[in-house]
Amino acid sequence: AAGVIQSPRHLIKEKRETATLKCYPIPRHDTVYWYQQGPGQDPQFLISFYEKMQSDKGSIPDRFSAQQFSDYHSELNMSSLELGDSALYFCASSSRGGQSNSPLHFGNGTRLTVT
Amino acid sequence: EDQVTQSPEALRLQEGESSSLNCSYTVSGLRGLFWYRQDPGKGPEFLFTLYSAGEEKEKERLKATLTKKESFLHITAPKPEDSATYLCAVSFGTSYGKLTFGQGTILTVHP
């Protein structure tokens, strides 16, 4: 079965640089969620989109922005990177987000290292 | 404060030794409680969703149960390939997909 695809798998950036992470949801899923997981930490919710509109917002820094495109893929843009941004970034998708109890399915994440 | 607490933090079992993992929660308006399995360097893999007290779900050697305050993940006759971190998460209030995770239980099953 098709899963959530994230790219790149690994990304190394220097402080103050920018990064763009991409997420391709499971076909026919219209909702995407972004989570950040620091070393030894549980995943923390950042932001979500339903039908290309932001549906919820968590602890996402102002330096980060995200959007969902017409084909439902999503991109997380991160600027002025800091050492503390080093983490695993997961994307998850579901169908009819907020309107049904469809579970979230996660991708394998992008490991971002800021040096 | 809305919280999800998992115990134990780590659990070592011998192959075939059954046990249970606990997830206690204090949230208002629970919409769903989720169990995920996470292998190192990979994303959480969905296992179960539970919605109401008394509900039970099973999949192979795993069985999840839910009460008004906690959930248990029972592992029957585990195998080494069951070794992973098991995460519990809840959604509550108006946000279905905004999951609040517990810290996880690291399960190691020795042959």
Mean pLDDT of A36-64: 92
For residue B97, list chain A residues with Cβ-Cβ distance below 8 A: 31, 33, 48, 55-56, 92, 94, 97-98, 104
Q: Which residues contact B71 (CB under 8 A, 6 or more apart)?
A: B22, B23, B25, B33, B35, B50, B64, B65, B88
Q: What is the pLDDT of residues B42-101, one digit of tens each?
A: 999 999 999 999 999 999 999 999 998 999 999 999 999 999 999 999 988 777 778 999
Cα maximum dimension of chain B: 44
Residue type, position A80, single letter: S
Query: A69 pairs with which residues across the strands?
Result: none
Mean predicted lDDT score pLDDT of chain A: 92
pLDDT, one tens digit per residue, over A27-39 is: 989 999 999 999 8
Task: Please compute the mean of the pLDDT values over residues A49-55 and round it to a whole number.
Answer: 91
Residue with tokens 């922005």: A65
Per-residue pLDDT at B41: 86
- What chain A residue is nearest to B41 in terms of C-alpha separation? A108
Of A84, A68, A73, which is closest to residue A36 (Cα–Cα)? A84
> Residue A59: its pLDDT value, please?
87
CA B98 to chain centre: 17
B102·A42 Cβ contact <8 A: yes
Give the tens place of pLDDT for each residue, A60-109: 999 999 999 999 999 999 999 999 999 999 999 998 655 556 789 999 99
Q: How confident is the model at residue B10 (pLDDT cuts 50, 70, 90)?
A: very high
User: How buried is A79 (Cβ within 10 angstroms: 0-12 exposed, 13-18 middle, 19+ buried)?
Assistant: middle
Residue of B97, B103, B104 lying closest to A94 (CB–CB): B97
Looking at residue A100, what is its pLDDT? 57
Q: Spell out which residues of chain B touch residue A33, defining contact as CB-CB under 8 Å.
A: 97-98
Dihedral sign for Cα B44, B46, B47, B49, please. Answer: positive
